[in-house]
Amino acid sequence: MNILEVEHLKLWDANRNKVIIHNSSFHLKQGSCLAIVGESGSGKSVTCRAIMRLNKAWIRQSGDILFKGENLNHLTEKEMRKRRGKNLCLILQNGMRAFDPSCVVGVHLKETLAEHFGWSKSETEQKMKKAMESVMLKDPLEIMNKYPHQLSGGMLQRVMIALAIVLEPDIIIADEPTTALDTISQYEVVEQFTKLRERWGCSMIFISHDLGVVKKVADDVLVMKDGVIVERGNIHAVFSEAKHEYTNYLVSTRLALSSRFKKIMGEEM
């Protein structure tokens, strides 16, 4: 069963009269993880912001985005706000952009949860504390009283994952969640996404240009180039038997980098 069906999605920049996404159709199965891969500017992030209806005002969209059969493109902004967070949760690549820099992070967490639940302040704090501890964040209450700039990128990512744990959304959309992190933090965040799926079987869209990360978390993959889906299918089939030359290029580049890294490490050890 598909929890999300995107049909004939078209996005264009009304200011420049330029098409960004030409005609994308894809679906997300209940409980599965769909990866969208491609180089910068391929259309990955703008596609996911279209699902959330969070693109800039001058980026227009047409087509159908069906979430559990409901067309998100037909909802008012007020109705859409109710879907964001509780049904569709977006985790951004840069944790700093997700939080108001003028407030401690706890304010953002409490306001988000207040939008969807009628919990008391102490109940909200307890649920966030438990979720933050589950993603290996020490001293959750202290973290909630810090400003975003006082926390590392890896910590902010884990705060957003903890918020998702409390919200229990139907779909998590992770937009390049490991890009701004060091290698150790990347590994920890990928582990948390894997545990999220194991914990309650949520559906996920995972955007990345890192094929190594994608192979760890995804079941299926879309390959995008210049606003067009050029290949799709099971993750292992696409990466081992790629039909499109662009997919072959991405895979071969990844293998070359991996081989080079191992060679350098071998020389240094």
| 152 and 181 Cβ atoms separated by less than 8 Å | no
User: Is 144 inside a domain boundary?
Assistant: no
Please list the pLDDT of the chain residue by residue as tens digits (269 residues). Answer: 999 999 999 999 999 999 999 999 999 999 999 999 998 889 999 999 999 999 999 999 999 999 999 999 999 999 999 899 889 999 887 777 788 899 999 999 998 898 888 888 889 999 999 999 988 889 999 999 999 999 988 889 889 888 988 998 999 999 988 776 777 777 777 888 888 888 778 899 999 888 888 888 899 999 999 999 999 999 989 988 888 999 888 888 765 544 544 454 455 44
Q: Of 74, 85, 80, 84, which is closest to residue 166 (Cα–Cα)?
A: 85
Position 95, amino acid = G
Residues spanned by the domain of 25:
2-98+169-243
pLDDT of residue 52: 96
Reduced to 3 states, what is the DSSP secondary structure of residue 128?
Answer: helix
User: Is 150 inside a domain boundary?
Assistant: no
CA angle 176-182-186, nearest 5°? 50
Measured CA distances, 84 to 137, 142, 197, 233, 265 (Å)? 25, 27, 19, 28, 44
User: Is 158 inside a domain boundary?
Assistant: no
- Left if phi > 0, otherwise alpha if psi is -120 to 50, otherwise beta: which for 229? beta
User: Is 43 inside a domain boundary?
Assistant: yes
User: Is 75 inside a domain boundary?
Assistant: yes
User: Is 234 inside a domain boundary?
Assistant: yes
CATH number for 191: 3.40.50.300
Q: What is the DSSP letter of 148?
A: G
pLDDT of residue 157: 85
Q: How far is CA 48 from the centre of its chain?
A: 8
Q: What is the Cβ-side half-sphere exposure of residue 118, based on CA atoms within 13 angstroms?
A: 0
pLDDT of residue 180: 67
User: Is 203 inside a domain boundary?
Assistant: yes
User: Is 252 inside a domain boundary?
Assistant: no
Domains identified in the chain, total number: 1
Reduced to 3 states, what is the DSSP secondary structure of residue 1?
Answer: coil
